[in-house]
Amino acid sequence: MDAQRYEKALADPSDVFETPEAVLEADDLDREQKIEILRRWEYNVSEEDVALEEGMPGEESGLLRRILIALGTLVGPIDVSHTPPSKQHGLPRSSLKKGD
């Protein structure tokens, strides 16, 4: 993946990838790049879920669950006990344990 496309994926993963599974299948990304893209996607979707909870228009898509499954594929079990006490529930790096 060229640097410009990777930067675009970091800014908004859904602009570059149709699904979290497509990130996993991208042969031109290394494991760390995939993890970072999925982390950012998880944060973006968590913010959207908060907006829905607060009455903004839209509907739940199940995308967050798919992102977490994709992340789990790369890093192993996600330690949700290290999730910060915020509405966004973004995953800090410490909750993503490096798999072998």
List CB contacts of 19: < 8 A, sequence separation 6 or more.
Answer: 66
Distance from C-alpha of 61 to C-alpha of 80, rounded to nearest angstrom: 21
The answer on pLDDT for 4 being more than 80 is: yes
Distance from C-alpha of 35 to C-alpha of 23, rounded to nearest angstrom: 9
Distance from C-alpha of 28 to C-alpha of 60, rounded to nearest angstrom: 30
H helix intervals, the chain? 3-11, 13-16, 20-25, 31-53, 63-75
Which backbone phi and psi does 57 adopt, to 5 degrees? -70, 150
Q: Is the pTM of this model over 0.85?
A: no
Give the pLDDT confidence score for residue 51 in this predicted structure. 55
Confidence band, pLDDT 50/70/90 cuts, at residue 48: confident
| DSSP one-letter code for 29 | S
Residues 67-97 have pLDDT tens digits of: 999 999 999 887 656 555 445 455 555 556 5
Mean pLDDT of the chain: 80
